[in-house]
Structure 1
Amino acid sequence: MATQTLLGDETAGPEARAVFDDIRLKRNTDYVNNFWRALAHDPALLKAIWERLQQAMAPGALDPLVKEMIYIAVSATNGCSYCVHSHTAAARAKGMTPAQHAELLQVIAMASQTNALANALQVEVDERFKT
């Protein structure tokens, strides 16, 4: 159960509605998802997160699909079901194949296991890995 109500266009304030409109415009959609609607209670935070997300996820040195796959991995590690679902949908829209998704899940699972083992064993970092 959500800890915050979701604000619709009719209940959100003008600052939040402006962000909703920008989301619709930039994503070429009429849909504003629940994450943004929950953040709309704090229009300044909503705007800041939307602006930072656009910057982080914009094409750059990393391909947009790679960025979505990284987002999935971090979200899975942090236990954010909402973000796993949202960014899996975004990755599929950007061309992620079922085979790529399967490999991604294998990497996430392997990294989680080896991270836990290295942490539990408190393995000292090799000098050559330090920069």
Structure 2
Amino acid sequence: MALWPKIEYGQANARVRAVYDDIRAARNTDYVNDIWKVPANDPALLERSWSQVKAVMGPGALDPLTKELVYVAVSMTNDCGYCVGTHTASARAKGMTDAQFGELLAVVGLANQLNKVAAGVQVELDEKYRSGGNPLTPPASTAAAR
């Protein structure tokens, strides 16, 4: 149960309505998700959060589906069922296939498992990673022998 009530459009003040209107316009819908209606109890939080979503999830170097897949993966790791559900739906709308979703689940599971192993045995980062090198590049002696 949410700690704050949902603020519906009819109950919202002008600041909150402006954000709701922007959400509707940006998404070309009349629907405003509950993730916005609860933080609307603090208009500054709502404005800041929506502004960040537009900046980060908008056009950029990563394509929209990749951004959604990353969001789903992080949400799984953070145990945010709401975010997993909404961003999985968004990823599907952007073209995610069942095979991609299955592979995403496998990658998230593997990363969680091996992250715990690395943390548990306290593996230090390889020198090549610390110095910005590419550990997949063969050493000079190996490359010269080719």
TM-score interval (norm. to shorter): over 0.9
Partner Cα distance (2:39, 2:2) in 1: 12
Q: After the TM superposition, list the runs of 4 or more consecutive aligned residues in structure 1 that deviate by more than 3 angstroms.
A: none
Partner Cα distance (1:82, 1:41) in 2: 19
> Match for residue 118 of structure 2?
118
The SS at the match of 1:46 is helix
> Match for residue 20 of structure 2?
20
> Match for residue 129 of structure 1?
129
Q: Structure 1 counterpart of 2:82, which letter?
A: Y
| 1:55 matched to 2:55 | yes
Q: How many residue pairs end up in the alignment?
A: 131
Larger Rg, first or second structure (1 or 2): 2
Q: How does 1:1-131 map to 2 (within 5 A)?
A: 1-130=1-130, 131=132
Shift of 1:60: 1.2
The two structures, once aligned, show a CA RMSD in angstroms of 0.7
Q: Which runs of 5+ in 2 are unaligned?
A: 133-146
The SS at the match of 2:11 is coil
Q: Percent identity?
A: 53
Partner Cα distance (2:16, 2:60) in 1: 28
Partner Cα distance (2:126, 2:26) in 1: 45
TM-score, with structure 2 as normaliser: 0.87
